[in-house]
Amino acid sequence: MTETLLSCSEALAKALGEEMERDKTIFIIGEDLTAHDGIFGQFKNLPKKYPGRVIDTPISETCIVGAGLGAALTGMRPFVDLHFADFFTTAMDEIVNQTAKIRYMFGGQAKIPMVIWAPDGGGLSAGAHHSQCLESWFTHAPGLKVVVPSHPADVKGLIKSAVRDDDPVVVFQHKKLFARKGPVPEEEYLIPLGKGDIKRKGKDITIITYSRMTYLSLEAADQLAKEGIEAEVLDLRTLKPLDFDLIADSVKRTCHVLVVHEACLTGGFGAEIAARIGEELFDYLDAPVTRIGAKDVPIPFSPVLENFVLPQVSDIVGGAKKVLNR
């Protein structure tokens, strides 16, 4: 298999370019897309290659999502760009009360093949209005699928699957990962929604994570290995549907679990994972499931304070040692 070194941003553009070439019903809609190929360069060359199919909108998330929803209902496959995940809040009615429910309320007669994509996460001193991780809100809404890729190859394979899905898919892509590079297969491939991946094998503890925290967890695993602790790192990639079989298989082998995410700890998706493990895998646990997440405060602008609030590698190392009673 031939591979090319691409960033996550380039992998997104590559996936969308291939899909737009394959399917003429796919188009991209959002703010400030055509002048600079998206504010993060995530749609590189697409406005020029597909004129009229990369559409700039007014500054209104309500309008953007509503237009995408209407287009999906009439047979198009919109890829909706919301600029920052924080801006989901201004389109919650369209997303949660309309997009998520229409297929059910119409008895399956209508489908909503729409992707709603947004950059999320902190680490860039972007302040409290541009740094949140809100994925758990959308896992709580029946009818939505939620994808959170970390590696460039996963970005490409998951985006292609999301675009082809007949249900609405919410995709969060961490801002600090746009420039992160990795090998991406040039051949056609899809990564099914609902399939996680083992990024590092281990026998002592399972670290369950996703998005940017995958990389921090891998760094933590390297440090733990120097102390004789072999951590297995699971990258969920998709939160809904959740690959619980992957989780269960790992937990049964390691008997110790640490869940890591960047979102605030209270009500974060880690609580759902911990609850399910407690309900279904309790007999395999040698210690309580522990969670690592951001402190329950708005994300600060100050880099020093932001680093204090967000999980760091040292937090993951300390969490793993706590679970193992080391």
pLDDT at 175: 95
pLDDT at 36: 83
For tokens 């209104």, what's the residue?
A: 60
Structural domains of the chain sorted by starting position, each given as residue range(s) with its CATH number in brackets? 3-185 (3.40.50.970), 197-324 (3.40.50.920)
pLDDT at 222: 98
Q: Assign 3-class secondary structure to the chain.
A: CCEEEEEHHHHHHHHHHHHHHHCCCEEEEECCCCCCCCCCCCCCCHHHHCCCCEEECCCCHHHHHHHHHHHHHCCCEEEEECCCHHHHHHHHHHHHHHHCCHHHHCCCCCCCCCEEEEEECCCCCCCCCCCCCCHHHHHCCCCCEEECCCCHHHHHHHHHHHHHCCCCEEEEEEHHHCCCEEEEECCCCCCCCCCCEEEECCCCEEEEECCCHHHHHHHHHHHHHCCCCCEEEEECCEEECCCHHHHHHHHHHHCCEEEEEEEECCCCHHHHHHHHHHHHCHHHCCCCCEEEEECCCCCCCCHHHHHHHCCCHHHHHHHHHHHHCC
262 is catalytic: no
The residue annotated as part of the active site, out of 31, 94, 130, 151, is 130
pLDDT at 75: 95
36 is catalytic: no
263: Cβ contacts below 8 Å, ≥ 6 apart: 132, 133, 134, 135, 136, 269, 270, 293, 294
Q: What is the mean pLDDT of residues 306-314?
A: 97
Q: What is the mean pLDDT of residues 6-19?
A: 97
Distance CA 165, CA 112 (A): 9
pLDDT in tens, 141-154: 999 999 999 999 99
pLDDT greater than 90 at residue 39: no
For tokens 């974060």, what's the residue?
A: 268
Band (pLDDT 50/70/90 cuts) for residue 155 is very high
pLDDT at 41: 84
pLDDT greater than 90 at residue 37: no
The residue annotated as part of the active site, out of 10, 19, 31, 61, is 61
